[in-house]
Amino acid sequence: MTDYIPPLRDIKFTLEHVVGLDAVAALPGNEEFTADLVDSILEEAGHMAEGILSPLNRVGDEVGARLENGVVHTAPGWREAWAALVDGGWNGLPFSTEWGGMGLPNVLNTAVHEMWQSANMAFTLCPMLTQGAVNAVRLYGSDALKALYLPKMVAGTWTGTMNLTEPQAGSDLAAVRTKAVPEGDHCRISGQKIFITYGDHDMAENIVHLVLARLPDGPPGVKGISLFVVPKFLVDASGAIGAANDVTCVSLEHKLGIHGSPTAILSFGDHGGSVGYLVGEPHRGVEYMFAMMNHARLAVGLQGLAIAERAYQQALSYARERVQGRPVGWTGDKNPGIVYHPDVRRMLLTMRCQIEAMRAIHYTAAASVDLAHGSADPVQRANAQTMVELLTPIAKGWCTEVGQTLASLGVQVHGGVGYVEETGAAQHLRDARITTIYEGTTAIQANDLINRKILKDKGAMIGAFLDQIEAQAKSLTGDDSVIGLGVAEGVTKARATVAWLVNSAGQDPRISAAAGVPTLEMMGILVGGHMLAKAVTVSRVRLASGEDPDGFYTAKIESARFYSLHILPHVHALAVAATDGAATVMRMDEASL
């Protein structure tokens, strides 16, 4: 397995020139958010990724987490790595100084987590979920809960989990059966939760479980579910840790990938009931949990980008070193690395251009979160929130599907040795496989895009976004017109698909559901092309001023050109699949499948 090298120049380029970091820096409270501070944070986070987390990636995969005599042990080096994260205050980067955080923008936290997810995806699931749990308590917890739990969770000395899934209740949360019985100032929680990432471990002093459960008077369905804080160890009013709560790790799952991340089955209340504290109002648990779920969806989408970057770096390094045959058209005396074989070059460019597109999508979504929450301008806030809503299903759904594809291409570049575990290429593919499943499958993201972002307002919101994409595409001229044309043609297909969905949805709801994933993939490719077109505009300005001694900006343009001719044409096929092909999904009799 090759060493991970943080792609700092690409990250900074995307932040500054594609996303527009100046708008985030101009928000109230960000007066100290300077370019020098951004550089410093990224450099230090990169050092942690490269020097601490990356070397543990293989260890976590080979050793994994284990449950022995009721105690979960993480892989060697995990505890020390977590201590380094806590000592550096990294978990508090996006949170208010009121709770001990750094008070820095979400988009910077996203860039940091990209590097950490690339370096060690299994490890970084823990800070990812802890930050999500902080958001839920911060937004909906009582003052007493916030005062007691947030400082420790922000610091990372206590970690957080998300407890939704039960054996009979996966995506269908209406089937949740875990019970909460009131008892004084708390409730007694009883039930079982499965697939709980970092549900138990030995890295932190305490684990704060956010648990969905039903109060006795709760109505049936999702409207009868409440949210509770259930700590692993009970905590007194001063924050001191006391006796163990009635929470048991029954077992750890044996998984295809992310072996270093303990995925627990937790049993609550085997000995009288776990002590849990209500978060917010009764029966609004699913609503509250969406604060954590939306954070997790963007964070998991980021994993698609991160694992693709790691796979690309490894594939590129191997392709430069591996000599196999004489490339077509090669005129040198000595055969070069396979990077000169046209099809290997095609695979590497396929990886590179989509990684650049995914990075821009994620950073744009993250910056939009900052603007939606921090802008003093109500119009800017509303526009930013619209962008968050549109990009979330794309960032989660499309980027994780692409991440899997690119991790698989990474194996292909290696050839036979890529299928051998010693190279490390196979681990990236195994780790990537979960990303399209947890925190809402691709189909769930597609349903969100179709029903809440297209049909809800009959295509008005997405139509306005398509107008922006088309206007930007038409600004590309000369040698770049082929890039702009590819995006503009994609907009035409997307508009037609949206119109078809709006007109067809009322006829048969199964039709729009069947069109969901092709539409999501179509929009992902198109938005990715839009992001690369923005990068072309910036790169042309830099080239005109003579700022390209190493070919960085020229490469950005060539990457976009490749994307426009190799990736964007898929928009046309997906439009056909979404519209003309949707009805074929349900035509065949079930018995004939």
Minimal CA–CA distance to 130: which of 142, 141, 138?
A: 138
- How far from chain centre, in Å, is Cα 326? 40
Which residues on adjacent β-strands are paired with residue 277?
Answer: 229
b (16+ CB within 10 A) / e for 482-501: ebbebbbbbbebbbebbebb
* Cα atoms in the Cβ-side hemisphere of radius 13 Å centred on 289: 25
Predicted pLDDT at 548: 87
Cβ contact 355:482 at 8 Å: no
Predicted pLDDT at 290: 84
* pLDDT tens column, 537-574: 999 999 999 988 899 999 999 999 999 999 999 999 99
Minimal CA–CA distance to 529: which of 499, 565, 554, 497?
A: 565
Predicted pLDDT at 381: 97
Structure tokens at 275: 């002590």
* pLDDT tens column, 437-479: 999 999 999 999 999 999 999 999 999 999 999 999 999 999 9
State if pTM tops 0.95: yes
Q: Which amino acid type is present at position 517?
A: V
Predicted pLDDT at 242: 96
**How far, in Å, CA of 359 to CA of 310, rounded?**
13
**How far, in Å, CA of 19 to CA of 257, rounded?**
32
b (16+ CB within 10 A) / e for 172-193: ebeebebbbbeeeebbbbbbbb
**How far, in Å, CA of 198 to CA of 583, rounded?**
42
Predicted pLDDT at 291: 81
Structure tokens at 476: 């590309």
Cβ contact 11:118 at 8 Å: no
* Cα atoms in the Cβ-side hemisphere of radius 13 Å centred on 152: 20
Please report which helix (H) or strand (E) contains residue 235, including its range. strand 233-235
Minimal CA–CA distance to 18: which of 544, 567, 541?
A: 541
Q: Measured on CA atoms in the order 522, 524, 526, 529, is the torsion positive or negative?
A: negative
Average pLDDT, integer, range 492-505: 95
Delimit the domains of the chain by residue range. Answer: 442-587
Catalytic residues: 439
**How far, in Å, CA of 438 to CA of 132, rounded?**
15
**Cα end-to-end distance, the chain, whole Å:** 41
